[in-house]
A and B are shown apart, each in its own frame.
Chain A
Amino acid sequence: MAAPLFRPPGDLTDFDGIPHQREAWDATMTTFFLQAIQRAEQEVGAGKAQIFDAVHALPQPSLTEATIIWNGFPKTLLDGNTHEQALQLAEQLLSFRLGGRTVQARPQDEYLEWHATRDTSGRITAVDFTCEGPEYWTALAHGYPDSVQPGAGAPPAKGDLDAVVELYRKFVSPSVQKQDLLHNGSYDPYNAWNIQQGAMHLTHPSNSLQAEVFLAGDASVLREKNGQLIEDDDELIRCAQYGVPTRSSDPTIGGSVNGLARTGALVSLAEPVGLYIDSLDTTGWTRPDGSPVGDYWTILRGSPTAVVRARYEVPASEGFAVGDIQIGGEPIAFPGQVAEAISMKLTGVAGEQGQHAAPPVPCVSGVQPLVAPAIISGAPVEMLFQHSRAHRHEVVV
C-alpha cells in the first residue's frame, strides 16, 4: 500500500492531473510540520514535542477532533473604530514593499478575504469569499510554494500555470490573460486579478497555511509563569508570542490547541489541513419587501465540510441585488457586513491523551531570531508581523 499523503486543502482536485504534484504538496506539508515540530523541540527538548505529523505517524494513533471557530471579519479593525469605520477600512488595500517593488494586499486578516462586485450605481451585486492559502496557488503554478525550496530528492513537480489561468478565468473573470498573473515570469500572488479586480486566494501576509501550522506547533508547548501552568488564552498568546494577539483567530486557535496539549495528548491539525469557511448566518436578513432572504450562498470550491470558496449573490430571478438586502434594517453597503456573519473554522486533533505531557516551559523573552535565512520570493514583511513569531518565521528549506 502506498504511503498516505497530505491531502490538498478542501480536497481540491486541481493537482490531480499534474505529474508529482500531490507528492510535492505532501512534501511541502510534511516540511511545514517538521519545522513546527523542530520549533516546539527548541522549547521542550528533542523528542518531546506534542505537535506531530498525523498523516505519517506510525502507528496511527486514534484521534479525537475539536472544531475551532472564529469570526471572519477582522477584529483588529473593529477595535478602536466605529462599526462603519471598520467596514470602510476593511476595503482599503494595504501597500508594502516586497522584493524591491510595492505591492498591495487586503487588510482582511482572519484567514478570510473577499472581493465585492458592484453595479454602475455602486450597489453590491455579489461578494466572493476565499480562504485558500497562497501556498496552494504558488504550488499549483510552479510545483512548490514560493516559500519552499525543494531539495535534490524532492518530488519533481513543476505545477501547471495554465491551470491557474483557467481557474482565474472561471472564478474571477473570463478576461484574465496569463501575462496578467506573472511578475518576472513567475506567478504573482499580488497580481491585479487577485487584489484590485478579484479575490482568488488569500493575500494578507499573516494569512498563510504555513503560519497556521507553525501556530499550532508553537501553541502545542505548555507554558508556565512563576511555576503556574498557564491556561488562559490571552495569557498564553502573550507568553508564547504565537500569532497576532488582537485577532480573533490566532488566540482562539492557539488556546484551543494548547488546551488539547494540556490533556497530555499528541496534537495536530485534521486532514485535509486547511482553514475553512464554516457557515454564513443570515438570520434577520430581509428582502426589499421585508420578508426573509432566500439562500443566496453558493459554495464554489472545497468539500461540503471543508469550504474554501463561496459566493453571495442574489439570483437575477429575485429582481433585487445584495445591496438591496437589509440586515436588521441596515442596508448592505459594505461586503464586510456579509463577512461579519461568516464563521471560520479549523479542526484540531488529539491522540494518546495523557501519554505525552511535556513539562511547561517559561514564556518567550524578547524577539526570537529567525531560525534560518529567508528564501522567500522577497524580503519578509517585518512590520506586518509584529508580536508574531509564527508569522515571522516565513522560512522553509
Chain B
Amino acid sequence: MTGAAGGALEPVLAAGDIQGDSLSGFRKDHQHYEFLKVGDVATAKRSLARLAPRLSPLADVHMFNRLFRHMRTRRGEIPGTLSSTWINVAFTSSGLAALTSQAEVAQFDDEAFKLGLAARAGKLGDPVDPQAEGHPARWVVGGPQTPVDAVVIVGSDSADNLATTVTDVVSLLTGTDGGFTTVWSEPCDVRADLPGHEHFGFRDGISQPGIRGRLSQDADSYLTPRYLEPADPRAARFSRPGQPLVWPGEFVLGLPRQQVPPADDLEPAPAVPPQPAWAADGSFLVIRRLRQDVAAFTGFIEQTAAQLSEQPGLEGLSPQRLAALIVGRWPSGAPLTRAPDADDPDLGADDFAANDFGYVSPWGQSGTSGPPELVTTRPLPHGVAPHDVHPRPVADAGGLLCPHGAHVRKINPRDQGTDLGGPRNTLRRRILRRGMPFGPQHATAPDASRGLMFACYQASIQDQFEFLSTNWVNRFSAPRADPGGADLLIAESAATARRTLILVDKSGKQHEVATLATWVTPTGGGYFFAPAISAVRDVLTAETPPS
C-alpha cells in the first residue's frame, strides 16, 4: 500500500498510549520538572497507579496543539485564552529496577540508559575534576549525591493551572501515601521579554524533524501535517519546507525505522521488537540541566569580536555577527545561509522560511531550485507566508557563511555528508528537542542562576543524544574536517582538545577563534525512559514484577 505522497503507508500510532510530550511536545509557556526518588516501593506503585489515568497521551496533546495552531493562525496571538495542562512521567534505570527488577532493566538495548547520565558524564565531556561545578558530584540533581528514579513533567499554558496541578501531583506522589520523595523541583517558563528565545538571546526550537505516522486508519491523518504541494518533488520527504520526515521508530520503540542508507527512505525498515516487550511505544528521554553564564558569553563575544574585526578579511565583524556565527542563526532565528550579513527579523519570524535551507544544495535537496509550493487547503502556521519571498539560501559546503563549527550545523549537518557517510545517515541521529529555559532573564536578575532545561526524546540514547554530543559536538574534525571546528556554544573544554571555531572569510582564508572559557555548565539531569501509559498502569504498578 502506498501513502498520499507516493511512499509506503505510514503506521498508525498508539495515540492513546504513547505519552504526548515525546512525539507532539507539550509546547507550553510554563513547565515544571519534579525529580523523584522511590521510597517504599509498594506505596510508590499505588500512588503511581493513581497518577496513570491522568497521564496525557499523544492523542490529547496533538489535538490541543492542532486546535491551538488553528486558532492562532486565525486570531493571531492568543495568550491566556486557550489553556490545557499536561502530565507525563519517565523513569531512570534505577527507578525501573525498583518498580520491576534488575533483570527487566538488563533487557534494554541501551548501555547508556542502563548506566545512567552521571556515569556517562565524563564521556559527554563534563569536567573530571570533582571540585568543578559541572562534575556530577556537584550536580543539584542526578549526581551520585542526588540520585533520581523518576521525573514528572507538568506543562500548562496558564501559570495558575500549572501551580494547581503541580501541587496536586506532588502531594499525590510525595505525601504520606506517596512513596516518593522529591530530589529537585525545577520550574521553567518561556522568557517573558523574548518568548521562544533561550537566555543568550537566540530563538530556539525552530528546527525539528517531521515524524511519520498517522493517528487513525485515514490515509492522511498524519501526526505531522504535510504542507508541501504533492506535485513538489520534496513532498514525499518533507512535512514542511526544510523539515525532513523521519520514521517514528527513530523516536519511539517498536515502530518502523529509517532504512540503512543509501536505501530509499520512502520505505521504512521494519520495526525492531523492543526489549523488554513492555517498552513498546515508550521513548528515551535525556534531561540536562545546563546553566548558562550570560555575562561570560556576551563578554567573550564583545572582546573577541573587537580583536577579530582588526584582522584582514574580518573587518567590521560585530559582536552580534560573531555570536550568530557561533550559533548558526541570528537572534531572530534567521539562518546564516539566507541572512549572511545581518539579522533579518522578517525571515526569522517565518517558521517555514527560517528553516528552509541546506548546506550543500541551497534548498537542502539536490535538483531543486526554489522554495516548495505550499498547499492551499490547509491553514499555514502563524507568521508563515504562502510564498517564500525572503532572500534565497546560498549553498555553503565550505562553511564561509555558516561555519562548520556553528552549533546548528555541528549538530545537524543537514544535506552535507558526515564521517558516517551520506546525509541520510543523519536522519537516524535526530532528536526531538523539548527544552525550556529556567531562571529569570539576565537583565532583571544578573546574579541569579539560569539556563536551559535541555530535554530530548529518541529511540536510543547511545546512538542519538550521546552520539551527537561525543562524536560531533565535542570533536573538532567531525562531522566535517574541511575545515571543521568546535561548537563553541556548548562543547566543553574537558572534552575538546581544540575548543576552536574556524571562520572562513570571503577570500577563503581561515581564522581561528580559540578559547578555554565555557558558558554552558551541566548542573544535573538524567537518562530516563518514558513508557507507554499502559506500561505504567499494567507493569510498573503491578504488585508482582513481570516474569
Chain A contacts to B: CB under 8 angstroms? 64, 66-71, 75, 79-80, 82-83, 225-226, 228-238, 245-252, 255-256, 259, 278-279, 281, 283-286, 291-292, 327-330, 343, 345
Contact = CB atoms under 8 A, between A and B. Distances in A.
Contacts of A238: 262
A311 B404 CA distance: 31
B512 interface: no
29 contacts: A66-B482, A69-B481, A71-B471, A79-B260, A82-B109, A83-B462, A226-B367, A230-B366, A232-B365, A233-B417, A233-B421, A234-B422, A237-B422, A246-B260, A248-B420, A252-B417, A259-B397, A278-B477, A284-B121, A284-B125, A284-B470, A292-B128, A328-B111, A328-B119, A328-B123, A329-B119, A329-B120, A343-B419, A343-B478
B361 interface: yes
A233 B367 contact: no
B401 to A, nearest CB: 16
The secondary-structure label for the interface of chain B is: loop
User: Lowest 7 CB-CB distances: which A-B pairs, in order?
Assistant: A284-B123, A234-B422, A228-B367, A328-B123, A233-B422, A234-B262, A233-B417
B261 A245 contact: yes
Contacts of B109: 82-83
Nearest to A340: B471
Contacts of A70: 419-421
Interface string B38-80: 0000000000000000000000000000000000000000000
A234 B421 contact: yes
A196 B158 CA distance: 67
* Highest count of chain B CB atoms <10 Å: which of A69, A75, A238, A256: A69
Interface string B232-270: 000000000000000000000000000011100000000
B124 interface: yes
A184 B478 CA distance: 45
A333 to B, nearest CB: 11
Contacts of A329: 111, 115, 119-120
Contact size class for B? 35 or more
A330 B421 contact: no
Nearest to B262: A234
A104 B95 CA distance: 47
B78 to A, nearest CB: 41
B123 A75 contact: no
A235 B366 contact: yes
A354 to B, nearest CB: 13
Contacts of B260: 79-80, 246
Contacts of A291: 128
A248 B421 contact: yes
B122 A284 contact: yes
Given A232-B415, A233-B417, A330 B122 contact: no
Interface of B: 109, 111-112, 115, 119-125, 128, 260-262, 360-361, 365-367, 395, 397, 415, 417-424, 462, 470-471, 474-475, 477-478, 480-484, 494-495, 508
B6 to A, nearest CB: 16
A75 B474 contact: no
A83 B419 contact: no
B367 A230 contact: yes
* Highest count of chain A CB atoms <10 Å: which of B120, B261, B423, B474: B261
Contact of A75 (B112, B365, B420): B420
Contacts of A79: 260
Given A230-B366, A234-B421, A343 B111 contact: no
Contacts of A327: 123
Contacts of A279: 477
Nearest to B482: A66
A79 B259 CA distance: 9
A26 to B, nearest CB: 27
B543 to A, nearest CB: 32
The secondary-structure label for the interface of chain A is: mixed
Contacts of A283: 122-123, 125, 470, 474, 494-495
Contacts of A230: 366-367
A247 B421 contact: yes
A71 B365 contact: no
Contacts, number: 144
Contacts of A226: 367
B249 to A, nearest CB: 13
Nearest to A244: B421
Contacts of B120: 284, 328-329
Contact of B419 (A69, A246, A285): A69
B261 A343 contact: no
Nearest to B126: A284
Given A234-B261, A329-B120, A69 B470 contact: no
A327 B120 CA distance: 8
Nearest to A344: B419
* Highest count of chain A CB atoms <10 Å: which of B109, B111, B128, B481: B481
A255 B417 contact: yes
Given A225-B367, A231-B366, A283-B474, A252 B361 contact: no
A278 B125 CA distance: 20
Contacts of B484: 67, 69
Nearest to B466: A328
Nearest to B123: A284
Given A83-B111, A252-B421, A343-B475, A232 B360 contact: yes
A330 B111 contact: yes
A173 B482 CA distance: 39
Nearest to B462: A83
Contacts of A251: 261-262, 417, 421-422
Contacts of A67: 477, 481-484
B12 to A, nearest CB: 25
Nearest to A228: B367
B262 A245 contact: yes
Given A232-B423, A292-B128, A259 B360 contact: yes
A258 B77 CA distance: 48
Given A83-B462, A232-B365, A246-B261, A75 B477 contact: no
Contacts of A256: 417, 482
Contact of B481 (A75, A286, A345): A345
B112 to A, nearest CB: 7
A258 to B, nearest CB: 10
Given A68-B481, A251-B421, 10 more contacts: A69-B481, A69-B484, A229-B367, A230-B367, A232-B423, A234-B422, A251-B417, A283-B474, A327-B123, A345-B477
A228 B419 contact: no
Contacts of B462: 83
A130 B508 CA distance: 34
A276 B186 CA distance: 48
Nearest to A327: B123
Nearest to A224: B367
A169 B141 CA distance: 54
Contacts of A235: 262, 366, 422
B62 to A, nearest CB: 31
Contacts of A80: 260
B122 A286 contact: yes
Contacts of A229: 366-367
B423 A234 contact: yes
A279 B481 CA distance: 12
A329 B111 CA distance: 9
* Highest count of chain A CB atoms <10 Å: which of B360, B367, B421, B423: B421
A200 to B, nearest CB: 26
A231 B366 CA distance: 5
Contacts of B361: 231-232
Contact of B262 (A69, A237, A330): A237
Nearest to B116: A329
Contacts of A252: 417-422
Nearest to B508: A64
Contacts of A345: 477, 481
B398 to A, nearest CB: 8
A67 B366 CA distance: 23
Nearest to A70: B419
Contacts of B124: 284
